[in-house]
Amino acid sequence: MVYEDSVVVYMKCVPVLSEEQKGDFAQLELVMTKEFISQQLIHLTGCLDTNEEGGRKRVVAVLQEMLVLPQTPPSLVSLLTEKLLTLIPDDHRRIQTVAEVISEVREPIVIRQPLDENENRRKQVKLAEVKVGILEAKQALEECISNQEFNRAAELKDSITDLENLRNNILQEENTQQDDKETETRIEKTDPETLLRCLTMCVELLKQMNIKTRIGPTMSAILSSLILPSISNAQPAVRNMAVVCLGTCALHSKDLVNTHLVLLLQIAQLDEAKIRISALRSVIDLLLLYGFTLLSERPSPAPQTSHSPANQEDQEKGEEPEEGSSTAQSILMMLSDFLDSEVSELRTETAEGLAKLMYSGRISSAKLLSRLVLLWYNPVTEDDTRLRHCLGVFFQLYARESRAHQECVEECFLPTLQTLLNAPATSPLAEVDVTNVAELLVELTRPSSLIKPGDTQEVCVHDYLAVRVCGEMLKDPSAPEVRLYAKVLNSLELSADGNTTRDLVTLLQQVTQVQY
- What pLDDT, in 10s, does the model give residues 97-127? 999 999 888 877 555 555 556 777 777 778 7
- What's the rounded Cα separation, in Å, for the pair 3 and 201? 24
79 contacts 67 by C-beta, under 8 angstroms: no
Q: Is the peptide bond before 480 cis (omega within 30 degrees of 0)?
A: no
To the nearest whole percent, how much of the chain has pLDDT over 70? 79
pLDDT at 235: 92
Query: Helix, strand, coil % (nearest 5) of the chain?
Result: 70, 0, 30
In this structure, the dihedral spanned by the alpha carbons of residues 367, 262, 356 and 209, taken in order and rounded to 10 degrees, is -170
Three-class SS of residue 184? strand
Instruction: Pick from 2-16, 140-154, 217-231, 475-489 the range whose average pLDDT is largest.
Output: 217-231
Element containing residue 267 per DSSP (H, E): helix 254-270
499-505, long-range: CB < 8 A, 24+ apart: 500/459, 500/463, 503/467, 504/463, 504/466, 504/467, 504/470
Name the residue with higher pLDDT: 223 or 497.
223
- The pLDDT, as a whole number, for residue 248 is 92
Confidence of residue 470 (pLDDT cuts 50, 70, 90): confident
pLDDT at 279: 94
Q: How many helices (H) and strands (E) does the chain have?
A: 23, 2
Indicate whether 363 pLDDT > 70.
Answer: yes
Taking the alpha carbons at both ends of the chain, their separation in whole angstroms is 93
Of all residues in the chain, the percent with pLDDT exceeding 90 is 24
Cβ neighbors of 71 (< 8 A, separation 6 or more) are 11, 12, 13, 14, 15, 16
Residue 190: per-residue pLDDT: 82
